[in-house]
A and B are shown apart, each in its own frame.
Chain A
Amino acid sequence: MKSIFFEFNPNRCLGCRACQIACTVNHDLHSGIYLRKVTQVQYKSKDQIANYYLSLSCNHCANPECFRLCPERAYRKRRDGIVIQDDKKCKGCGVCTRACPFEAPVVNPKTGKTIKCDLCFDKLEEGDNPFCVASCPVEALTVYKRTTYEENPDLVKTLPGFPRIQITRPSIRYYPVKMGVQIGINLDYPKEVKEDE
């Protein structure tokens, strides 16, 4: 059985947030609640400043913590790997929002219930891309189906700035970050800083 994975290329992502807003408005979350977040990652690396963006939503993990911990058993992992949540069962207790290393489930203030990325499975089933993927002007974010043992050797499972992956095994793969030559930058400052926006 093939599973659905996100593939993200930080060497293409522009940090334009089209994916984040396209997702939000198409889920009718007009109040600054996001199911996908773009964050900036930057750190000093040898004679360069690494600077790139991550676009993150639910990673439809192989071992989802939300699924494991939800007291209402509202989460389900489909055969195609998509983790979905049953709105009717959710009581808004927030256990999943605290347990998920990616902060993927969020409480929707409109309903008091938790909501999270369902990979727009209804769109996928019709052969369309999820809103986030469809909105990216440079194909930095894509989805593809494959069996877990068909790993693409060019891709990696994590990047600096991405939360821990050992426990939940997220279904996302990354291109390794490539930074160009940087001329005239000042690396002479006291401490290393890595921060998200």
Chain B
Amino acid sequence: MKKLTYHNVCTRDCPASCRLLTEVQGGRVVDVKGDPLDTFTRGYICAKGYSYPERIYSPDRILYPLKQRKKGSGNWERISWEQALDEIANKFITISEGYSNLLPVCLDRYLGNLGILNLNVAAFFLSMAPITLMVGSPCVSAGTDGMTLNYGFCKKPVPEDMLNSKLIIIWGGNSAWTLPQQMHYIYEARKNGAKIVVIDPILTATAARSDIYVNIRPGTDGLLALGMAKILMEENFLDHEFMSGYTHGWDKYKDYLTTIDLEQISTQTNVPSAEIHKLACLYGNTKPATIWIGLGLQRSPSGGQNVRAIDSLAALTGNIGKQGGNVHHISYEVFMNAGELARLQLPWGLASMPEDLKNSFRTIATGRFAELNNLTPPIELLWIAGRNPVAQDQDSDTVKNTLKNIPMVVVADQFLTSSAQYADYFLPVSSSFEHEDAVISYWHYGVGLNEKAIEPLGESKSDFEIMKCLAKAIKKIQPGFTDFPIESDPRQCLHQELEPILKQQEISSIDKLRRQGARIQLSAVPWQDYSFPTPSGKYEFYSLKAMEHGLEPLPIPAQVTAKPASYPFRLMVVRNYATLNSQFYNLPNIRGLESNSTLIIHPETAAQKSLEHGDKVKVYNQLGEIEMHISVSLCLPHNIVVAYMGIPDNHGEVINTLFGLSETDLGEVVSGCKGLTFNDCFVNLVRME
């Protein structure tokens, strides 16, 4: 039988946004591989990408609408789309009649699917304003805020600019596992003479391949940066021209740096002071030098200030605006170049709405599920799409209880996730191989068009299609209720979204875009004009805006949390190479790579608790307990235990059961609410027989 090849793009929340070539035979996906024309990935994809055929045809996939008799009971009943949509539509009408507005309707959607058309879920709910919206980012908001306060806007160089660097400091990130394609550019830079430094509490796969690995106590990254800044000042590695012309608050920062004690910083960070000195001199001496701030370090209580302090190193040494220099973090700049829908991906999408519309929304900060319980008017209907809050948000038990309390919870997904288990209705979503879409990468700015390679499996529908069907069902009952475009054609909608990009790139047709891809042309090296949109118009060491948000105007991190005596181990959740948040754990090919739920501990901890590789332990703290098997590793300090993000335990309980609600210092500047910490949780463990 003839094989047909389709162009797809991975829609997972990952910087690579790989363009894929999908082979289809007899209406079935038989092979998924990287597209060699993808300039960033060069055709290399990850273990997850290769697992797509398994994921598409997974026996766990739910292909029909379901209704659960009692939330959490597992007592699901297959129902028709008509019944599901009619019952949900009626709920909208009843709420509207009872409350004379739709504030009791709440939307919690995030980046489980990066497709632009997927943003129609948000568009649908926004068209029903006023409603209740969960806003903010559980992922990166403290870091983007830190960058924004310093520079005025969060920008970054293109990934390939690392090729021009002579020193690459990877600070709090594990590229080898989370963005393996970037390691090609890093290794190439090394071939050109660059040194690779990794700063991380864990000797990660990336750290193990570095020239210099610095083991740092979690959350103290800002302190290390301050220590380095002091040395850069004392050893006169400063770029005086840049500092005097384009920075604000150096006098105050200088005064502060003179007061800090390096020995104290050494004790707090766990890095010997002589080594801090060497590291600062290496950074000061090597031009151009770049720092890649990973997402890990900004998920700590002082995450925002940590990022600000690290940024300051680039400003002190004049690495800003230089090829091969700057700070790589993350940028949303790319979404400003597409159409209206893609702009909803912007965290400030809400902030850019007309004032009267914006004020009519009731917003709840992401992950703060307890708050949903105490609202007037109360939440009657919660719609969850592209999210798994039970697995991803803190304090999973509270999330579960909230879901139980809300009269109607609808989850649209491909699998019965830990959140779906507390839904009343489950709506089956098609995989991105089953509908058209497009993804714009927030790392390399590539635009990938996603074709429909196969028909939707079973009765599954794209999120866009589901919203259209729901709008139809609502209109059938009350014609004027919503103006969501029920006749909107996905292809037309995509054309509209991509039109500005086609124009910018002078690409003649969407067909050409599909075959070739494109990259949104942002400056390869940001800040070359030294024009910073901050209040002072300069790079700000001293930020009054930070003060408005209750922080020190200088990048001074708050004190590090002391560990509670009864819970001696810091639990860190890190990303795994074969899973993405809570996705992919259910596939046998992925499960076979790691034991299903492993807690990684140091041999000293194992000895202390009489544990051996593979033993079962109960991991517990004041919030709850879960059951995991252990593996022993030298790659982490003895007082840290590590689990993979979103991992389920032996009974399907999630690791986030052990995380209390805890906020980062920043997040609200760009994303509307503070971020969440995932590096500041303490546990104990006990052997199970």
Contact = CB atoms under 8 A, between A and B. Distances in A.
Contacts of B603: 189-191, 193
Given A17-B578, A137-B183, A51 B635 contact: yes
B443 interface: no
B592 A32 contact: yes
A49 interface: yes
Interface stretch (A114-122, A156-164, A180-188): A180-188
B180 A18 contact: yes
A185 B215 contact: yes
A25 interface: yes
B187 A138 contact: yes
Given A11-B209, A138-B187, A17 B593 contact: yes
A74 B662 CA distance: 61
Interface stretch (B142-150, B268-276, B404-412): B268-276
Contacts of B209: 11-12, 14, 180
Nearest to B196: A180
A40 B203 CA distance: 12
A21 B589 contact: yes
A135 B275 contact: no
B607 A53 contact: no
Interface in B554-586: 577-578
B466 to A, nearest CB: 28
Interface centre among A33, A137, A197 (most CB of B within 10 A): A137
B336 interface: no
A197 B176 contact: no
B180 A137 contact: yes
B577 A49 contact: no
Contacts of A15: 176-177, 205, 577
B31 interface: yes
Interface centre among A17, A20, A182, A186 (most CB of B within 10 A): A17
A22 interface: yes
Nearest to A194: B634
A14 B44 CA distance: 13
A89 B255 CA distance: 81
A116 to B, nearest CB: 17
Nearest to B34: A135
A22 B578 CA distance: 12
Interface in B166-188: 176-177, 180-181, 183-184, 187
B589 A24 contact: yes
Contact of B213 (A11, A44, A180, A190): A180
B602 interface: yes
Name A's interface SS. loop
Nearest to B57: A30
Interface residues of A, number: 44
A175 interface: no
Contacts of A49: 203, 634-635
A193 B214 CA distance: 22
A166 interface: no
Given A11-B209, A32-B589, A191-B607, A42 B635 contact: yes
Contacts of B177: 14-16
A151 B181 CA distance: 31
A182 B633 CA distance: 16
A168 to B, nearest CB: 26
A183 B637 CA distance: 12
Given A16-B176, A182-B215, A183-B215, A138 B184 contact: yes
A179 interface: yes
Contacts of A180: 196, 209-213
B153 to A, nearest CB: 31
Interface in A59-83: none
Interface centre among B589, B590, B631 (most CB of A within 10 A): B589
Contact of B589 (A30, A51, A53, A191): A30
Contacts of A32: 588-589, 591-592
A5 interface: no
A185 B589 contact: no
B37 interface: no
B50 A30 contact: no
Given A12-B187, A191-B607, A17 B213 contact: no
A22 B270 contact: no
A191 B638 CA distance: 13
B649 interface: no
Interface string B189-209: 000000010000001011011
A30 B588 contact: yes
Contacts of B638: 186, 189
A26 interface: yes
A42 B215 contact: no
B22 to A, nearest CB: 13
B45 A193 contact: no
A6 interface: no
A29 B632 CA distance: 29
Interface in B254-293: 270-272, 275
Nearest to B30: A28
B607 A182 contact: no
Given A42-B634, A42-B635, A44-B634, A16 B46 contact: yes
Contacts of A52: 208
Contacts of B578: 17, 21
Interface in A1-48: 11-12, 14-18, 20-22, 24-26, 30-34, 40, 42-44
B272 A137 contact: no
Contact of A183 (B42, B54, B208, B214): B214
Nearest to B209: A11
Contacts of B206: 14
A189 to B, nearest CB: 4
Contact of B180 (A16, A179, A193, A197): A16
Contact of B205 (A22, A30, A33, A53): A53
B39 interface: no
B588 A42 contact: no
A30 B54 contact: yes
A195 interface: yes
A138 B588 CA distance: 26
A17 B576 CA distance: 11
Interface in B607-640: 607, 613, 631-635, 637-638
B23 to A, nearest CB: 11
21 contacts: A14-B180, A14-B209, A15-B205, A16-B47, A21-B47, A26-B31, A33-B592, A42-B634, A43-B634, A51-B203, A51-B634, A137-B42, A137-B180, A181-B211, A181-B212, A182-B215, A184-B270, A184-B272, A185-B213, A190-B604, A195-B613
- Nearest first, the 3 closest Cβ-Cβ pairs linking A and B are A32-B592, A14-B176, A137-B44
Given A16-B47, A25-B51, 7 more contacts: A16-B180, A30-B53, A33-B592, A49-B203, A135-B45, A137-B44, A184-B270
Interface of A: 11-12, 14-18, 20-22, 24-26, 30-34, 40, 42-44, 49, 51-53, 135-138, 179-186, 189-191, 193, 195, 197
